[in-house]
Structure formats: structure tokens, C-alpha cells
Amino acid sequence: MSISDFQLTSMIRRVIVSLGLQTSLLDITVINGVAYIKGKIERQDVTIMKIRRDYAFSQEMMQEKLSHEYRYTLEALDRQIRAMPGIHGAVYKIKDWERRIGKGWIRTHGG
């Protein structure tokens, strides 16, 4: 039995929530087994709040730490989505981020 695009979309939403990302900032669509995710990633969990507090003295250092944290989150998101049965691919249009072959997720703006 194949999994419908509607069911796959629901599964992806659960993964996004489990990673602490705000679903309201993302548009998630699955068409013929290909996931399309666009929008902005934002987390408001303890780790992010701690980084913002601990590195408030240096905007540059804070952005570096946040970039590392968000890169890890995007890698986990991509890995979990691509591992889902019924998913044949994933296309991302994430604000301030780009996925490059061989380099992974790269922040395109200071954001």
C-alpha cells in the first residue's frame, strides 16, 4: 500500500515539530512523493534562548553559534525526510539558507 501525499505531508509536519521548528513559518507540500518546503526556519527552544543570552555581548559570535545550530537542524530535517518511505526527493527554499552539493547547508545571508 502506497502512502498518500497528504499522509506524507502530515509525517513531515511531525518531524518539523519534533525538531522544534515553527510550522507556521513553513509551507509544506508533497506532490507525487517529492517534498517541497519553503519559508523561514525559526526555533524558540531552550538551546536557542541560551545562545542568545550567553553571546549577547557579540552579535557576530551569536550569529556563528546560531548558524551552527540551525545547520544541524536542517541536516537532521533533510535526513529524516529523505528516509521516509514514499518520499522520492526533497526541494527546499529556506530563507537565508541554501543546500549545496558536497557542502551541505550554507547560510546565504547574515539573517
- CATH number, domain containing residue 18: 3.30.300
| Cα–chain center distance at 89 | 15
Tally the domains of the chain.
1
Mean pLDDT for 8-13 is: 96
Q: Tell me the C-alpha to C-alpha distance, in Å, between residue 75 and each of 58, 72, 107.
A: 26, 5, 13
Entry pTM: 0.87
Query: How far is residue 81 from each of residues 47, 56, 58, measured CA to CA in Å?
Result: 23, 33, 34
Q: What pLDDT is recorded for position 109?
A: 74
Per-residue pLDDT at 95: 95
pLDDT in tens, 14-41: 999 999 999 999 999 999 999 999 999 9
Q: How confident is the model at residue 89 (pLDDT cuts 50, 70, 90)?
A: very high
Res 105: pLDDT: 93
User: Whole-angstrom Cα distance, residue 22 to residue 77?
Assistant: 13
pLDDT score of 3 = 85
pLDDT digits (tens, 9 = 90+) for 46-73: 898 899 899 888 889 999 999 999 999 9
**Above 60 in pLDDT, residue 91?**
yes
Short-list 101, 79, 88, CA closest to 30: 88
* Structural domain that includes position 46: 5-107
